[in-house]
Chains A and B, each alone.
Chain A
Amino acid sequence: MNNILTFLALLIFPGGLFVLLSGLVYEWADRKLIARFQNRIGPRWFQPLADIAKLLAKEEIIPNGVNPGLFLALPVAALAAALTAALYVPMAGLSPAYSFTGDLIVTVYLLSMMTLCSGLAGANSVDRFSLIGATRTLTQLFSYEAPFLLSLLGPALVAGSWQISVISGYAQSHTWIILTQPLGFIVALIGLMGKLELPPFDAPEAETEIVSGALTEYSGRGLALFRIGKDAELVIGLTLVAAFYLGGLANPVQFLIKTVALLLLVAGLQSLFARLRIDQTVGLWWRFGALLVLVQLLILIVFRGFGL
């Protein structure tokens, strides 16, 4: 019995199928929202699914000069990491499938696997666009990772735990943390956009400069897996930020409302700005992002020190 439940958790909910499908739905919502903001019609609801189905059916072309094993394994590893991360977050407002002390750190690093894998995939290739894309991907990873982690540490600090379910529970029973830690929320949200390489942080895959960045050489299955992985990460990231900053996720309705509200915000930010150059991205993160979140942490520590 227990084994069947484990399998269900891995394959259907909250891992596997649920994350994949909700990822596609959120990708569609994101694309549609941006399209409407930009005065376009936008894709139909099944477009992301159709894209993935087409890519999965296509022949996988392994270019010359790459390590074929790595080329095939990296997309799988990226997707696997993203799906594993889904097990530790309160997907759909239900309690996480698995939980242990310190799972926050594990989840954040599982989410980073995606970026790392696409960076490696670019570096594995001899294509110039891929190489430049890989450099940019990894540069960006080093710039947003620390501030993003620190911004998730704020709620962890007030909740006094490193466990996602505990922090989420704390958020439900207290004032929304977005009100007490607004700086942390801003950094977390923008950090999420950096993580997902959404505009204006899309320098690593800037199509007008380096075609498709690190993933230029990927065509069929590999590209599809990377894309589903990114969609899964979008859902997980939104869930994480909503659970921490927007008063937790007590039930599926709250999950839907809060993550979609966040998505609306993210889509708005995506259509507001011109793409940042990679040096501007790094500058932004280390000059403002890291500073903001450190100020936030300092305030927290001082407050806790005085026992407030």
Chain B
Amino acid sequence: MTETNIPERFIVPIGPQHPALKEPGHFEFSVDGEIVTWASARLGYVHRGIEKACEQRNWIQDMYLLERICGICSHVHATAFVLGVEKLAGVTVPPRAQAIRVLVAELERIHSHLLWLGVAAHEAGFDTLFMFSWRDRETVMDLLEGLTGNRVNYSANLIGGVKCEVDQSQSDAIRRGVDYLEGRTHHYLTVVTTDETFLGRTRNVGGMSHEQAELLGAIGPTARASGVARDIRVEAPYAAYPEFPVKIVLETTGDLAARFKVRINELFESYRVVRQILENLPPGDLAVKVPRRIPEGETISRVEAPRGELLYYLKSNGSDIPERVKVRTPTLCNWASVVVTAVGHKLADIPMILAGIDPCFSCSDRSVTIQRSDSSSQVWTWEQLRQYGIAYYR
């Protein structure tokens, strides 16, 4: 984030405590009347030092710790981590386990997108849609609880497989739940595409062109709404996605209305994949044994979280404790798009634009280096950065 010399203006602070934000972050918008002329973001209020903590726990303990980076998309964090560890350990996970991982991931995506739909509707002052979408979200939460035992932080993964089995009664329950949700989702799609007052708040608001999305490095549904075909499940299928392919959902207009459409259409895609997995669940074991010590090496693991690409970098020194775990969450890549697209919009649209990327603050709070425009820029070597990090956390 860059800081510029700001002449005296009427600056509206949003955050760290503000009704529009459910997590702490600080944003400053200078306004001319109601029009936003400049925006800046400051993060770091919920920095928890999880990456460093990972270096003091073993690989298995880390899995549970990393799952707690995000309360909404916890399963993808664990999945990204175990996929990386399994790659380092060189084990092949049974296909049934991979399919169940994808099943839980898609159920989690359904839960996350429904949650976002409610939050975004609330920012637009449309509390009825908020209440209804959260009521329906309970359905998928119950399914996840039935499957894994937990409503959030499911802990479905093991290094080398999964913990939970899908039996016939669960499979039937999931089918019923998904059928119900599909009907409701059709209704929500109608609402967000035809309700005039709602469209008045989303159409041509927060628009980001294809070029801008590429330039700002936007990812996930935010980028897909601008026509950028970027989805790890399609580009680099992992776990069981090669067997259960996902169709990419694209829109071209790039405004908030397009983001609503992309996320809701992705719900239909998730329902389809969930049904497909339940019908073609491969037989076999749920897990293989993985040694406690992971062979030396480093790897990158990428998965598609509900908010976009989630990247894990893992380095092992051959012991049962990782040398380095680096997480790059999707929200971090999308912040730039908020600051850029906010300019020129009305203040009333700002909460919508903020919510439009489906932000997850605690996900993105990692070390931040502030680069001032008056000082010369400085490039750090890996070793310097590492030393800085070690000294910072010590």
Contact = CB atoms under 8 A, between A and B. Distances in A.
B122 A208 contact: yes
A210 B123 CA distance: 11
B347 A202 contact: no
B132 interface: yes
Contacts of B126: 273-275
A279 B13 contact: no
Contacts of B346: 277, 279
Contacts of B149: none
Interface of A: 37-40, 128-129, 132, 199-200, 202-203, 206-211, 271-280
Nearest to B349: A277
Contact of B197 (A39, A128, A274, A279): A274
A274 B200 contact: yes
A274 B12 contact: no
Contacts of B11: 128
Contacts of B122: 208
Contact of B127 (A129, A199, A280): A199
Given A128-B13, A209-B20, A278-B34, A271 B347 contact: no
Chain A to chain B: the 7 pairs with minimum beta-carbon distance, closest first: A275-B125, A274-B126, A208-B20, A38-B131, A273-B197, A274-B198, A277-B348
Given A37-B128, A275-B197, 14 more contacts: A38-B131, A128-B12, A132-B12, A199-B127, A203-B348, A208-B20, A208-B122, A209-B20, A209-B348, A209-B350, A273-B198, A275-B201, A276-B197, A277-B348
B115 interface: no
Nearest to A275: B125
A274 B18 contact: no
Interface residues of B, number: 33
A210 B128 CA distance: 20
Interface string B116-135: 00000111111111111001
Given A128-B13, A276-B200, A279-B346, A271 B34 contact: no
Contacts of B19: 207-208, 211
A38 B132 contact: yes
A280 B18 CA distance: 24
Interface string B57-84: 0000000000000000000000000000
Contact of A209 (B128, B131, B351): B351
Contacts of B198: 273-274
A274 B34 contact: no
B374 interface: no
Nearest to B124: A274
A191 B310 CA distance: 49
B201 A277 contact: yes
Nearest to B199: A274
A132 B19 CA distance: 16
Contacts of A203: 348
25 contacts: A38-B130, A39-B131, A39-B135, A129-B12, A132-B31, A202-B125, A206-B125, A206-B348, A208-B19, A209-B20, A209-B350, A209-B351, A271-B128, A274-B125, A274-B197, A275-B125, A275-B126, A275-B201, A276-B197, A277-B346, A277-B348, A278-B34, A278-B348, A279-B346, A280-B200
B120 to A, nearest CB: 10
B281 to A, nearest CB: 34
A128 B10 contact: yes
B235 interface: no
Contacts of A128: 10-13
